[in-house]
């Protein structure tokens, strides 16, 4: 049973081995509802592995992952029902329209969203009404990403996993995306985000960590103001600290 103190996502002492190699080494972090944890790191640092382990596509060799108190490797279906996933490439079915994609994936997730909710979500992400019935094959990356985010919104899951959601987006789209993420955060969604974008991360994240060779080598937590709202992190400070850790 989930108690009030159960973290939305708990990663404790996590080790993951792939092809005989430790890709994650003693990873520890947790986040509660309304928190955004941004995980930064170079290629092969283990960022995507962390996400795949949270979905239950990879199993821990040691340690544990809990999503709302449940282990993905033990109760994959219950865990997956409580999280949404957004990938770097926003992988939709190209031969389906935006609306068809949404309906398909929502149905797949066992979610019954009415037409109004669907349109509202598409409004929220800002997809032009004219584009909604077009096949996504010709969509720009930003448009596809909007559909994928709409899907994540519509699923109304307490946990959101993002795999480099802003890579390849134009600056305006990145800004829109970050605002959306803050909205979700304020609604109480717990977000684990893997990203290259330090600026974006500092703007939206409540905490931020640097992953290198499967280890969490550095992390920062954002301050909160009097109302308990998170303040953006200081980019220069984080960058300074990270570059020191990276060159070490």
Partner 1 sequence: MNLLHCLGREAGLFIRTRSSVAALALLCVLASIAIGLGHAEVQRQEASIERVRALDVTERESALAGAPDFGDAAYAAYHLTWNPPSEMAFTAMGQRDIAPWMLRVRALALEGQIHETDSFNPELSLTGRFDYAFVMAFLLPLFAIVVMYDMVSAEREAGRIPLLVASAGNVRRLWWQRTAVRVLGLLLACLVPMWLGGLIIGTSAGALLTASAIVLVTVLVWTAVILVFSFRPWSSAVIATSLTGVWLTVALILPLGGKVLIDYLEPGIDGAQIALLQRETVNGAWDLPKEATMKPFFVTHPEWADTRPVTEPFHWKWYYAFQQRGDEVAAELSGAYRAAITRRDELTGWVALLSPPVAVQRALQRLAGTDVQASLAYEQRIRIFHEQLRRFYYPFLFNEEPYGLESLKDLPRFE
Binding footprint of partner 1 on the chain (CB under 8 A): 51-52, 55-57, 76-78, 80-81, 83-89, 91, 93, 95-96, 100, 104-105, 107-110, 148, 155, 161, 163
- CB 18, min distance to partner 1, A: 13
- CB 91, min distance to partner 1, A: 4
Count Cβ neighbours within 10 Å for each residue of 92-109 and write b for 16 or more, e otherwise. beeebbbbbbbbebbeeb
- CB 22, min distance to partner 1, A: 21
Closest to 124 measured CA to CA, from 154, 169, 157, 102: 154
Tokens of 36: 């955004």
Nearer to partner 1, 96 or 120 (CB): 96
- CB 244, min distance to partner 1, A: 33
Closest to 210 measured CA to CA, from 32, 42, 60, 50: 42
Sign, Cα dihedral of 206, 184, 203, 242 = positive
Nearer to partner 1, 5 or 43 (CB): 43
Nearer to partner 1, 162 or 238 (CB): 162
Nearer to partner 1, 191 or 233 (CB): 191
**What dihedral angle (degrees, nearest 10) is formed by the CA atoms of 26, 232, 244, 198?**
80
């Amino acid at each position: 049973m989930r108690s009030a103190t159960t973290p939305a996502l708990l990663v404790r002492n996590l080790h993951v081995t792939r092809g005989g190699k430790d890709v994650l080494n003693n990873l520890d972090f947790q986040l509660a509802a309304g928190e955004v944890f941004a995980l930064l790191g170079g290629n092969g640092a283990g960022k995507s592995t962390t996400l795949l382990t949270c979905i239950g596509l990879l199993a821990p060799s040691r340690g544990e992952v809990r999503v709302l108190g449940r282990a993905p490797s033990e109760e994959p279906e219950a865990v997956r029902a409580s999280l949404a996933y957004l990938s770097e490439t926003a992988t939709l079915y190209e031969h389906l329209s935006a609306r068809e994609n949404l309906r398909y994936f929502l149905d797949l997730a066992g979610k019954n969203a009415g037409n109004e909710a669907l349109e509202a979500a598409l409004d929220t992400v800002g997809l032009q009404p004219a584009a909604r019935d077009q096949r996504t094959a010709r969509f720009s990356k930003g448009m596809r990403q909007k559909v994928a985010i709409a899907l994540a919104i519509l699923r109304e899951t307490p946990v959101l996993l993002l795999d480099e959601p802003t890579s390849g987006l134009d600056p305006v789209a990145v800004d829109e995306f970050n605002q959306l993420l803050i909205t979700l955060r304020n609604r109480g969604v717990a977000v684990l985000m893997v990203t290259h974008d330090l600026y974006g991360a500092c703007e939206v994240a409540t905490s931020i960590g640097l992953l290198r060779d499967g280890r969490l080598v550095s992390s920062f937590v954002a301050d909160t103001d009097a109302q308990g709202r998170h303040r953006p992190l200081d980019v220069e400070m984080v960058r300074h600290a990270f570059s020191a850790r990276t060159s070490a």
